[in-house]
């Protein structure tokens, strides 16, 4: 029985030898599906069942983060994110709950991420389960890596800054505070079509006053490496004026006050 299972695993692995995708049942994926330590077989089979129900058939090595020799899209405190093939051969991103995550399921994150989706923000969620979130794959770079490319121009930088702030405004309107937008480099991906995508709603809340625009604007326009880099391409009003406009927006989060901020570097 066990040798049969091993044989079929090897076979499924070989079937995929023509492309680099790996069947989710392949033992090579155990350290990814069960990170950072091996779980009991029963629990592991439960995870595979969740993937089957979601229609996730294989994982594709991609990205600059390594788990052993296997390439993944990224790793955070709650999850690993991998590129996968789902139903109808659609390429998606899959967030896998780490075994040592400080939460028992992805339920809360999914609820908050779906609020963001309802106002057009964040990778669209296709399916979710206790341990996984299946969402749009963002083919891009984190904002700091994108800004550090040689061949970007002023219009592209302006487009990325404005689209990030517009999404923050939409989150403010939805009363969802992302919670980590002062650390933008980990939470904004820029795709090839020069669109900004806000990701990772694990620290989000609907119980705090939303401060997405102010948090992101500090990082984009006032302090730290991103603002220094942005400032090479676009000139904005002096710091005092931006701080003043942000204070006005903070006390009264209207479209008018938001537009005044955008005009300060238009």
Ligand X SMILES: Nc1ncnc2c1ncn2[C@@H]1O[C@H](COP(=O)(O)OP(=O)(O)O)[C@@H](O)[C@H]1O
Write out the residues near Mg ion by the rule CB under 5 A: 76, 200
If one asks whether residue 186 binds ligand X (CB under 6 A), the answer comes out as: yes
- What residues does 23 pair with on adjacent strands? 58
Q: Which of 200, 218, 221, 258 binds ligand X (CB under 6 A)?
A: 200
Q: Which of 51, 110, 115, 138 binds ligand X (CB under 6 A)?
A: 138
Q: Which of 23, 85, 172, 202 binds ligand X (CB under 6 A)?
A: 202
Q: Is the CB of 61 or the CB of 76 nearer to Mg ion?
A: 76
If one asks whether residue 76 binds ligand X (CB under 6 A), the answer comes out as: yes
Least separation in angstroms between CB 23 and ligand X = 21
> What whole-number distance in Å separates Cα of residue 124 and Cα of residue 154?
29
Judge if the upstream peptide bond of residue 36 is cis by omega within 30 degrees of 0.
yes
Query: Residue 179 binds what, of Mg ion, ligand X, none (CB under 5 to 8 Å, by partner type)?
Result: none
Positive or negative torsion for Cα 104, 137, 116, 195? positive
Q: Is the CB of 110 or the CB of 199 nearer to ligand X?
A: 199
Per CB under 6 A, the segment of 43-51, 194-202, 208-216, 239-247 that binds ligand X is 194-202
Least separation in angstroms between CB 77 and Mg ion = 6
* Cα–Cα distance list, 219 to 132, 225, 231, 234, 257 (Å): 30, 8, 11, 15, 19
Q: Is the CB of 85 or the CB of 177 nearer to Mg ion?
A: 177
Least separation in angstroms between CB 17 and ligand X = 26
Per CB under 6 A, the segment of 25-33, 132-140, 238-246, 258-266 that binds ligand X is 132-140
* Cα–Cα distance list, 29 to 48, 66, 76, 116 (Å): 11, 12, 18, 31
Contact footprint for ligand X (CB under 6 A)? 73-79, 81, 93, 95, 123, 135-138, 142, 186, 199-200, 202
């Amino acid at each position: 029985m066990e040798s049969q299972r091993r044989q079929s695993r090897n076979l499924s692995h070989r079937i995929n030898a023509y492309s680099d995708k790996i069947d989710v049942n392949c033992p090579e994926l155990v350290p990814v599906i069960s990170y950072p330590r091996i779980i009991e077989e029963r629990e592991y089979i439960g995870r595979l069942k969740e993937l089957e129900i979601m229609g996730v058939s294989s994982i594709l090595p991609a990205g600059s983060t390594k788990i052993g020799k296997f390439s993944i899209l990224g790793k955070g405190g709650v999850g690993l994110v991998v590129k996968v093939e789902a139903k109808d051969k659609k390429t998606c991103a899959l967030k896998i709950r780490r075994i040592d995550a400080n939460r028992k399921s992805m339920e809360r994150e999914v609820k908050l991420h779906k609020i963001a989706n309802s106002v057009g923000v964040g990778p669209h969620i296709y399916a979710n389960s206790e341990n996984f979130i299946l969402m749009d794959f963002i083919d891009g770079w984190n904002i700091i890596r994108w800004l550090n490319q040689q061949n970007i121009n002023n219009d592209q930088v302006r487009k990325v800054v404005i689209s990030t702030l517009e999404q923050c405004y939409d989150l403010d309107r939805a009363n969802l505070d992302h919670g980590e937008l002062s650390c933008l480099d980990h939470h904004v991906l820029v795709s090839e079509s020069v669109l900004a995508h806000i990701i990772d709603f694990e620290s989000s809340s609907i119980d705090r006053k939303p401060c997405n625009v102010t948090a992101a604007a500090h990082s984009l326009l006032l302090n730290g490496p991103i603002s220094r880099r942005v400032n090479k391409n676009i000139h904005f009003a002096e710091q005092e004026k931006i701080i003043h406009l942000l204070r006005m927006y903070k006390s009264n989060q209207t479209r008018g006050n938001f537009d005044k901020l955008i005009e300060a570097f238009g």
